[in-house]
Structure 1
Amino acid sequence: MTPEDLLALLVTHQESLAADLHDEENRREVAAALRELREAVTAGRSASPAMRRLRRALSALPPEHPVSEALGSRRYAAGGTEGRALPTADAIGTVLNLLEARDAGAVPDPGPDPVPDPGPGTGAEPGPEPAELLAAARERLLRAPALTEREHAELLTSHGDQPGLIRLADFRPGRSGARCPRFQFRPGTLQPLPVVLRINGLLRADLDPWGAADWWLGGNSWLHGVPADLLGTLPDEELEGAALELVEAH
């Protein structure tokens, strides 16, 4: 299944796509990923980062949705974008318009060229900036259960600064330092789970802790759930396989 096939599938199922993306933030993230993909195609850059973002955004769809089933297949997950047919900018714009038209009051996507500011009094509201979407995603990850400051200090004393653990910089008002998500440890202890350390290594959590945290704490159509919630429920090999397929696709 090529990226072009994926865009065709989105067009085919556009009615259920927006309907099943219940959360407005999820719909906006899919639209933002499509815009990033269109920019890459138009500029002749590698589309792999945009396709990865799009696939992650689409993981919010229910497991039974046709797009989820296609993304969860090994045939698609094992392939990247290099050497594959890429969708045209016009095709991506079509999917954007179909998706955004489902939102009440949405304005169809204008295309890759910038649109002049309509000025005050028109009722047109600008979409969220990429920085706003990123900030919202990070805020969601920072709300996940994490070690307390005392526990984090104890962890550093007993286990040292383990590079395999995810630590998220938290500089919100009244906080300063790093948040260490609690799912990484055996319940009731400060003992890191070996499978978490292995998967964090695959996801390069040392270089991209936010991306690794998003994989663990976001919905995953391949696993039909949130990976962090499936620890101890699914075999470790299934969790590692899902992470490996994502990595091999890029």
Structure 2
Amino acid sequence: MTPEDLLALLVTHQESLAADLDEEDRAEVAAALRETREAVTAGRSASPALRRLRRALSALPPKHPVSAALGSRRYAADGTGGRALPSADAIGAVLNLLEARDATAAPDSGPRTGVEPAPEPAELLAAARERLLAAPALTEREHAELLSSPEDRPELIRLVDPRPGGSGARCPRFQFRPGTLQPLPVVLRINGLLRADLDPWGAADWWLGGNGWLHGVPADLLGTLPDEELEGAALELVEAD
């Protein structure tokens, strides 16, 4: 299934798509679609935006047709290999459907003069980073001890707070065996798949966000689900890159 096929599927299931996503998730899908449209219009690779779209759509229930399609290994995350990228007009059509949701969801709330604008991508990004920075992390002492180790671990997620006066790098605690500074091997393998060295925020978002295919938050499922299932879910996200 090409990205254009995915957009066609979103149009086909527009009503259930809007109904099965809450306001925040719809806003994130819309932001990913706007980012995709900008990349297509500018002639840039849309792969990062389409990965963001896949992550946003993972909030759908597992039995939703879009979830089933995205779980297929036939899905391509970019238009490489002869596959067609969606047109800017096709992306705009899906955006219109999503952004019109609030205008039709509550007809008894009084007349509306227009559709409320979705949050800007920068606002969504700031909110996402704030959420990730709030996750349990190593203390300053533990982080300093980790950095003093002779073994370099570039695949560990380290998040640098970009806010004015923000704290230094934070290393999410889920990556380690409880009560130790020993990284979990499965975390290191998946972080490698997610390229945590290049995109620590994206990797952290995968671990700490809801995942429709895994029926939970991946970080919370460590030690509960088999490592192979966690790795398989991460591979689904990156296999087409």
Which category describes the TM-score, using the shorter chain as reference length? Answer: 0.7 to 0.9
Structure 1 residues 2 and 140: alpha-carbon distance in aligned structure 2, compared to 1, 3 A threshold: same
Work out the CA distance in 1 between the residues paired with 2:155 and 2:86. 37
- Percent of pairs with identical residues: 88
Instruction: Name the TM-score, length of structure 1 as normaliser.
Output: 0.83
Map 1:98-109 → 2, pairs under 5 A: 98-104=97-103
Structure 1 residues 208 and 146: alpha-carbon distance in aligned structure 2, compared to 1, 3 A threshold: same
Work out the CA distance in 2 between the residues paired with 1:222 and 1:105. 29
Work out the CA distance in 2 between the residues paired with 1:66 and 1:158. 47
Work out the CA distance in 1 between the residues paired with 2:44 and 2:167. 37
Matched pairs, number: 233
The yes-or-no answer on 1:185 pairing with 2:184 is no
> Contact (CA 8 Å) 2:51, 2:77: kept in 1 or not?
no
CA deviations 1:5-54 (Å, max 9, x no partner) are 111111111111111111x2221111111112222233333222221111
CA deviations 1:205-249 (Å, max 9, x no partner) are 111111111111122233232211111112212222222232221
Aligned to 2:108: none
Mind listing any 5+ residue stretches in structure 1 that lack a counterpart?
107-121
Aligned to 1:95: 94
What secondary structure sits across from 1:197 in the alignment? Answer: helix
Structure 1 residues 129 and 231: alpha-carbon distance in aligned structure 2, compared to 1, 3 A threshold: same
> Which amino acid is 1:81 matched to?
G
Aligned to 2:147: 156
**Could you say what the CA RMSD is over the residues aligned between the two structures, in angstroms?**
2.4
What secondary structure sits across from 2:102 in the alignment? Answer: coil
Structure 1 residues 105 and 151: alpha-carbon distance in aligned structure 2, compared to 1, 3 A threshold: farther
Work out the CA distance in 2 between the residues paired with 1:56 and 1:242. 11
Deviation at 1:174, TM superposition (A): 6.1
CA deviations 1:183-214 (Å, max 9, x no partner) are 10112222110111111122221111111111
Work out the CA distance in 1 between the residues paired with 2:165 and 2:188. 30
> Contact (CA 8 Å) 1:71, 1:221: kept in 2 or not?
no
Greater alpha carbon shift after TM alignment, 81-90 vs 1-10: 81-90
What secondary structure sits across from 1:74 in the alignment? Answer: coil
Question: Please, which of 193, 215, 226 is the counterpart of residue 224 of structure 1?
Answer: 215
> Contact (CA 8 Å) 2:133, 2:170: kept in 1 or not?
yes
> Contact (CA 8 Å) 2:99, 2:117: kept in 1 or not?
no
Work out the CA distance in 1 between the residues paired with 2:193 and 2:155. 10
Work out the CA distance in 2 between the residues paired with 1:75 and 1:246. 12
Map 1:97-176 → 2, pairs under 5 A: 97-104=96-103, 126-158=117-149, 162-170=153-161, 172=163, 175-176=166-167
What secondary structure sits across from 2:160 in the alignment? Answer: strand
CA deviations 1:65-92 (Å, max 9, x no partner) are 111111112222x664212122222222
> Contact (CA 8 Å) 1:199, 1:240: kept in 2 or not?
yes
Structure 1 residues 187 and 159: alpha-carbon distance in aligned structure 2, compared to 1, 3 A threshold: farther
Aligned to 1:70: 69
